[in-house]
Amino acid sequence: MKKTATKVVASLFAFSLIAAAFALGADGVQMGTQMVAAAESPVHDNWKHAIINAAETDTVFLNERFSPALRALRTSRSEGLIGADHNVFNDFGNANDLYFGGDMDAALALTGQVAGRIDRIRSVSEIISSTVSEFAETVNRLS
Q: Under a CB-based contact definition with an 8 Å cutoff, are residues 98 and 111 in contact?
A: no
Name the nearest CA neighbour of 98 among 70, 77, 69, 126.
77
pLDDT digits 0-9 by tens, 12-48: 556 677 777 777 888 877 889 999 999 999 999 999 9
C-alpha radius of gyration, the chain, whole number: 17
Domains of the chain: 7-142 (3.20.20.70)
Q: What is the mean pLDDT of the chain?
A: 88
Name the nearest CA neighbour of 110 among 60, 65, 44, 67.
60
Q: How far apart are CA 38 and CA 124, in angstroms?
A: 6
Q: How confident is the model at residue 132 (pLDDT cuts 50, 70, 90)?
A: confident
Q: How far apart are CA 41 and CA 107, in angstroms?
A: 18
Name the nearest CA neighbour of 112 among 29, 44, 42.
29
Q: How many residues does the chain have?
A: 143
